[in-house]
Amino acid sequence: MRNLLAKCLFAACAVAASVAWATVDAEMEGMEAVVRDDGTFLVGSPTYLFDRKLGSIGLHSESELWTPQKIRYRLLFNRMSVLPSWEPLAPSVWMKTGNELGDMIYQDLITAEDRPDNRTPILEGGFRTPSFKGFWVTARGFQDDHYSTGTSSFRKKMVKDEFSLIGENYPLFSSGYAGVGYDNEFVNASILAGEEYVWLFSKSYRWIPVHYAPRVDARASVGDLSLSLGYEAAYYQDKTRHEKGNRIEINGSVFYENDDVYEQMNFVLLAGLSFRALDDSGNVYTELDENRVVWPFVGFGVRPVKNVSVEASVGVNDEDWLVQDSVEFSPSVPSKMGITLGVKNISGTRLNPIADDKEYFGDSTISLSADGQMNMVQGYAEFADSADFLGFGGRASFWAEHGAETFEVSKTKKSGGAIYRYGDVSRIDSWIKAVSGELWIGAWYKEMFNFKALAGFERIDGPSERFEVNPSEFFVAFNVDWFLFKSVRIAHSIRYRSDAEWNLYESDPMVVKGDWYWDATFEQQFPKQKLYLTGSLLHVLADEVVQTPNGGTDRLRFVCTLKKMF
């Protein structure tokens, strides 16, 4: 265990040296939580994390909550996730690699029995051509082996020897696709097909292996209308229980948003629906009632007067309903300071109404939905001001939640280095209340330099022993961007985040100790050639720890990317 004082001195030196609104690159899109500093972000793998911004309304992880903005996100068990991302990238050709540091480059030459541990890599390569009369083609193969070794000892017993497109590290996801698309001023469409291996993290704290072969993703945007349609042939297995199963899933969405017609009235109208239809056979470990779900919703945004804006969305079907709304007021003040006062509300029967309803664990059935409803309300105030090259701002909020989703543990079981739990999703039938605050100060100089320092706290009052996660209470962070000679980008952030706890892990909470983190990105740009060489160091300073139940170890790692834009 490294000495905390040494870390503090290193942190102070780093800040003094470069004392920003740091744009440190995440190792892959969808993993921005790894470099976030303003809340509780506990990462167990590329496909599972607890992501909650400090001062958010309610106790839930953000990816658990369905919103219209996530209509094209992937559904991984009960979470709306970007990763593995099949969003077509910009016209370019690229490759990415990296490793959890500790893997000695010369270790293959070592013949002694005491060899260093082989750390795991990240691998990616792909291209998307420029448009030719509107048509383009793309292909991408990518997998992130990070976080995989800590859990591979019990995961690899569940599957056949090769459970990835490349290598034998049992990565938490391994994905590849190819496809075509068409773009013009009115239409944007694509169809991608491929294969992938994904490990899903369930309510029982199990990793569930799924092999999609094939997976097809079709998307189209025509004016104000967006459409998506997916086909997934999923194969499930667990060799330890001699189980296997198949799921054919068709899912998709229709989404309409029109703000052009109502522009003079400052009015936005949106409507749409998401749907899933399943055909299961054998052991697939989850169940959707009636093997289908249709989720229609409507929403709007309106500015009835100059300084007031109202947003709302309502979704409902024969089993669930979910309402999300907010009102913001921006009073006019004599100075240039911007002030926003707001109230937000979320009420409904489930955080994610399109997720599965049951999980099967041996002979036990875990209910993934609870009776009753949740009610969340939040009031907040924000301010910001700037002058020339300086700025400052802050946010304060109060929120309360009744009927928060939690998990009622009936028993736990340890097996093969992992711990599992039985029970059902339930509710906390009492009020949880919280206050939070955040302050920041920034400085910048043209495009060359951008610095930001921020600190925040949150105090939550309620039956904390029933919280799935007891969030971090405070953080402090220093971020900086440099852009030099119009071709060199340097960004880094250093931050401290306090303790967090998983309370429903076993009889004693799983404590994730607070720590310092330092992340950095270095990029050399060749603008004339549209060539970019980027390297990032992640998780410097912090101890290598497991941040989630049955999760992988968060380690120091390096990732580099070479990209040629067209």
Domain spans of the chain, in order of start:
4-565
Residue in the block written with tokens 């004082």? 5
User: Tell me, what's the pLDDT at 63?
Assistant: 96
Strand order in the sheet with 358-361: 286-287, 358-361, 364-367
What CA–CA distance (Å, rounded) separates 90 from 128?
7
Contacts of 158 by beta carbon, 8 Å cutoff, 6+ apart = 207, 209, 237, 238, 239, 240
User: Tell me, what's the pLDDT at 333?
Assistant: 82
What CA–CA distance (Å, rounded) separates 153 from 37?
31
User: Tell me, what's the pLDDT at 19?
Assistant: 33
pLDDT tens profile 490-505:
999 999 999 999 999 8
What CA–CA distance (Å, rounded) separates 182 from 186?
10
User: Tell me, what's the pLDDT at 56?
Assistant: 95
Contacts of 432 by beta carbon, 8 Å cutoff, 6+ apart = 59, 400, 401, 402, 404, 460, 461, 462, 463
Q: State the SS3 of 166-216.
A: CCCCCCCEEEEEEEEEEECCCEEEEEEEEEEEEEEECCCCCEEEEEEEEEE
User: Tell me, what's the pLDDT at 6?
Assistant: 36
Alpha helix (H) ranges present in 123-169? 149-155
Superfamily of domain 4-565: TonB-dependent receptor, beta-barrel domain (2.40.170.20)
Contacts of 487 by beta carbon, 8 Å cutoff, 6+ apart = 524, 525, 526, 527
Signed CA dihedral, 553, 554, 556, 561: sign only? positive
pTM: 0.91
User: Tell me, what's the pLDDT at 169?
Assistant: 85
Secondary structure (3-state) at 264 = helix
User: Tell me, what's the pLDDT at 112?
Assistant: 57
Which residues of the chain fall below pLDDT 70? 1-22, 102-118, 259-265
